[in-house]
Amino acid sequence: MRIACLSTDPGIAWGGAKGASVHLAEIVEALRAEDVEMLVLVSQIVADAPAPARGVTLESLPGPRKGIPVDVTTMTVGKYLQQWLEDVARHQVRPTTYRSYEQLVRLYLVPGLGKKKLRALQAQHVRTWLSGLATKCQCCAQNKDVKRTLNPGDPTKVDLAKARCCARMPKECCEQYPSAVRGVHCCGCCGQLCSMR
């Protein structure tokens, strides 16, 4: 299993001694004990922080303090995630891991949080998004049935004979929910987004 853990809170530093920093390290340690491969993205890494355990990839989120040009006043979460996928993940993880990250970003993170300004992203936004994810039919949200019905000869026309559920008239929702949102969760206490795949 692979897990990506994202902490945008600048007060939660990898290797820090504060409660949430210690909590993050304990989560990572416990999951590594279960032989889970992890990508940990944090706002900052303490200078004398111990190296992460084998199987843990640690990345510091780009920001003004690192000298990487990121305009946090205008950049959206979606733009940042796309930039991160192309500039960081593509070059530092295996192709299968990259495909998993890209799929999570494309299907869940960008539609749910992508328009939010990076500077304005807060734990409550992540919690609200996660709550909604559990109750939203993903076939409807991702237009799966509509895409299935597009006429290959003329993609502007829909072949309703191919419709199975959400593209039918009247709409017949298939209620395809994420498996109890087992793939994405938030620990809740410190506002960290942990996406499991």
Q: What is the pTM of this model?
A: 0.51
User: Which pLDDT value is given to residue 69?
Assistant: 56
User: Which pLDDT value is given to residue 187?
Assistant: 45
User: Which pLDDT value is given to residue 168?
Assistant: 67
Strand extents, DSSP E, the chain: 2-7, 13-14, 37-42, 44-45, 56-60, 184-186, 193-196
Q: CB–CB of 32/67 below 8 Å? A: no
User: Which pLDDT value is given to residue 170?
Assistant: 67
User: Which pLDDT value is given to residue 182?
Assistant: 47
Q: Round to whole Å and give the CA distance between 138 and 183.
A: 13
Residue 165: count of CB within 10 angstroms of its CB: 17
Taking the chain (197 residues) in runs of 10, the rounded mean pLDDT of each run is 82 85 88 86 85 85 55 84 87 88 89 89 88 78 73 70 70 64 46 43
- Tokens 């000869």, residue located: 153
Burial class (CB in 10 A: 0-12, 13-18, 19+), 69: exposed
